[in-house]
């Protein structure tokens, strides 16, 4: 509907997705750093999904049982600080274990903790980061052979598969499309706090 405010929290994505864009729609997003959690929605519970938030008749967002003024570009950092100060936005950290090796958890335990906090495996995060860097290099005009070598892909087919899966574009398609229509997995511009 025209003039309607829709608010949701998107979870971590394991593949590129598409979303319908109605004519005259405007979007505003806040991209949280890896490991940041909006309570009570752990990242692992919304992988490849989203949670819609209620919006009051006066256009305020309901989070944590309170209604909040919808953020605008000009006040987004204040909005994020207020969520943090209210205990709704928290940065999780994996524990660092120093001392005797017997005191350290197993690699499997660390992997489970990482997945519980981020919603993704370390391998998936590494693959997404690598393909994002490769996509940026291709959009900047570097040839695929340079990108394959620089980013450590086995060959062009390996790079192409990763681009289709995580970015939703081919190397040629990256050069032909504007950044606004890219997947959420692909970092298309500077984000607050990046």
The answer to whether residue 190 scores a pLDDT higher than 70 is: no
The per-residue pLDDT for 153 is: 95
**52-66, 88-102, 126-140: range with lowest mean pLDDT:** 88-102
pLDDT 10s digits, 116-158: 888 888 899 899 999 999 999 998 889 989 999 999 999 999 9
Confidence band for 94, pLDDT divided at 50, 70 and 90: low
Check if the beta carbon of residue 39 is closer than 8 Å to that of residue 64. Answer: yes
Check if the beta carbon of residue 1 is closer than 8 Å to that of residue 22. Answer: no
The per-residue pLDDT for 54 is: 92
């Amino acid at each position: 509907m025209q003039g309607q405010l829709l608010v949701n929290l998107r979870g971590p994505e394991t593949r590129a997705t598409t979303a319908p864009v109605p004519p005259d729609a405007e979007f505003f997003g806040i991209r949280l750093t890896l490991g940041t959690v909006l309570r009570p929605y752990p990242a692992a519970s919304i992988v490849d999904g989203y949670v819609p938030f209620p919006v009051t008749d006066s256009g305020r967002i309901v989070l944590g049982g309170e209604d909040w003024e919808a953020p605008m570009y000009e006040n987004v950092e204040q909005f994020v600080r207020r969520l943090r100060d209210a205990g709704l936005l928290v940065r999780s950290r994996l524990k660092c274990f120093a001392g005797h090796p017997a005191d350290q958890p197993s690699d499997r335990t660390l992997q489970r903790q990482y997945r519980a906090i981020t919603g993704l495996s370390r391998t998936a995060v590494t693959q997404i980061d690598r393909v994002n860097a490769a996509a940026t290099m291709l959009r900047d005009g570097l040839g695929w052979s340079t990108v394959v070598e620089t980013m450590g892909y086995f060959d062009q087919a390996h790079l192409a598969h990763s681009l289709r899966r995580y970015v939703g574009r081919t190397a040629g398609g990256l050069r032909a499309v504007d950044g606004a229509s890219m997947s959420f997995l692909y970092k298309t511009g500077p984000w607050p706090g990046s």
